[in-house]
Amino acid sequence: MAAGTGSGRTVSATFRPIRGWLLLPSWAIIGFFMVIPVLLMLVYSFLTKEFRGGVIWEPTLAAYDQFLFDRGLFGDEPPTIEWAYITIFIRSILQATGATLLCLLIGFPTAFFIATRPAHTRAIWLFLITIPYWVNLLIRTVSVRFLIRDNGPLNDFLLALGLVDQPLGLINTNFAVQLGLFYSYLPFMVLPIYAAVERYNFAFSEAASDLYAPKWTILRRIVIPVVKPGIIAGCILVFVPSLGAFLAPDLLGGAKTYMIGSLIEEQFKGNAGNWPFGAAASMILLSMVLVVLLFYARGQSREGA
């Protein structure tokens, strides 16, 4: 054994000689079934679509052109900006942002509250938050659909109480999609923030309060900056899956107004059958997510520095 006999502080290397073999399966499997497919998808986005599904192996920019430029119904007018797909992307970003903010609004106080419980009850609170996260996403989305439909329990309840005199008409609206995303990913927000607040040293807060800092100022100026990495991690965990969501717009939005996920799905499984365009839209979505993650990574390394 060469190095690696140092204290726990240095990088331990007891398995260094076979490191390559240990890592090989991950490299091979993820490389072959994830990296190559994504690269292939990039290639597909530059291919010519075949009428009624499939591709012709001839390079073209048609998919990206279709995404960005409107050449009229018959394709022969001078190009103007195509708003149809940009609208779908903006809608997805707004929905995802809205869901993230709502989750933060409820998730932060929850995480803070749980993290400040005595150690023995903390685990139970945490357990309660985790359970819904383990329940199948499809079932959770379906249960929201059932709950808020016009003849569903929520409206029945409100009508019985006389709070409303006709159903709220929530189902099949953008609001319902928003609600569904918020509900689906709420635990994702609570858990990382909880982890950060739990590590937070409340001596800082106490010191500030000894100096007569108002309570909410302490929260804003001291606690939140310190637990920021947890908040950002939570936001990313909600934002990224919301952006590519498919079930919520389909089951709660009535599949009427598309989000990115539904647009892509339609190209492969629905009426459109335009593979290169679906690949291009996927690439654009992937790039957006990577940009978000890069910003996050840069922020992380700056925190660390």
Partner 1 sequence: MKRLTTTTAILALAAGAAAAEGELRVYHWFEYMPQELVDKFEAETGIDVIIDTYDSNEALLASLKAGTLGSYDVAVPGDYMVAIMAGEGLLDTFEEGELTNKANIEDQWLNAPFDAGRVHSIPYQWGSTSVSVNRDIYTGDTNSLSLIFDPPEELKGRINVLDSQGEVMALASIYLGIPQCSQDRDQLRALDELLQTASAHWASFGSDIAKDVLVSGDAAAGMIYNGFSAKAREEGANVEYIYPDEGYVVWMDNVVLLEQAPNRENAIRFMDFLLQPENIAQVTNYAQYAAGITGAAEFTEEALATSPENNPREGAGPGVFIEVCDQATQEVYDQIWTRLRS
Partner 2 sequence: MTFDVRRYRGFFGLTMLCLFILYVPLLVVMVYSFNDSRSITNWEGVSLRWYVDVFTGPESEKFKQAAWNSLTIALSAAIVSTTIATAAAIGMVRGGAFRGKSATFALISLPIMVPEIVTAVATLIFFSTIAFPLGTLSILVAHIVFCIPFAYLPISARLQGIEASYEEAAQDLYAGRWATFRHVLFPIMGPGIMSGFLLAFIISLDDFIITNFVKGAGVETLPTAIFGSVKQGIQPNIMALSTLLLLFSIALVTLSYFIGKRGEALQPDRGD
Pick out residues in 125-154 that bind partner 1 (CB under 8 A): 149-151
Binding mask 51-80 for partner 1 (x = CB under 8 A): xxxx------------------xxx-----
What is the CA angle 233-236-241, rounded to 5? 140
Long-range contacts (CB closer than 8 Å, 24 or more residues apart) made by 253-256: 253/172, 253/173, 253/174, 253/176, 253/177, 254/171, 254/172, 256/172
Residue 276 neighbours by CB distance under 10 Å: 26
Instruction: Tell which one of 270, 295, 300, 303 touches partner 1 (CB under 8 A).
Output: 270
Measured CA to CA in angstroms, residue 12 lies from 6, 20, 81, 305 at distances of 7, 16, 56, 23
Q: Pairing relation of β-strands 80-81 and 69-70?
A: antiparallel
Q: What is the token pair recorded at 223?
A: 């606690």
- 164 interface partner picked from partner 2, partner 1, none, CB below 5 to 8 A per type: none
Q: Please report how close the Cβ of residue 132 comes to partner 1 at its closest, in angstroms.
A: 25
- Judged by beta carbon, residue 147 or residue 158, the one nearer partner 2 is 147
Instruction: Tell which one of 220, 221, 269, 298 touches partner 2 (CB under 8 A).
Output: 269
- Judged by beta carbon, residue 43 or residue 164, the one nearer partner 2 is 43
Q: Pairing relation of β-strands 69-70 and 55-59?
A: unpaired
> Residue 112 interacts with partner 2 (CB under 8 A)?
yes
> Residue 165 interacts with partner 1 (CB under 8 A)?
no
What single DSSP character describes residue 50?
A: P
Name beta bridge partners: 48: 56
- Judged by beta carbon, residue 91 or residue 140, the one nearer partner 2 is 140
Residues 254/244, Cβ–Cβ less than 8 Å: no
Instruction: Tell which one of 94, 146, 295, 300 touches partner 2 (CB under 8 A).
Output: 146
- 271 interface partner picked from partner 2, partner 1, none, CB below 5 to 8 A per type: partner 1
> Residue 84 interacts with partner 1 (CB under 8 A)?
yes
Largest CA distance in the chain: 79
Binding site for partner 1 (CB under 8 A): 51-54, 73-75, 83-85, 87-88, 149-151, 169, 171-172, 254-258, 262-263, 266, 268-274
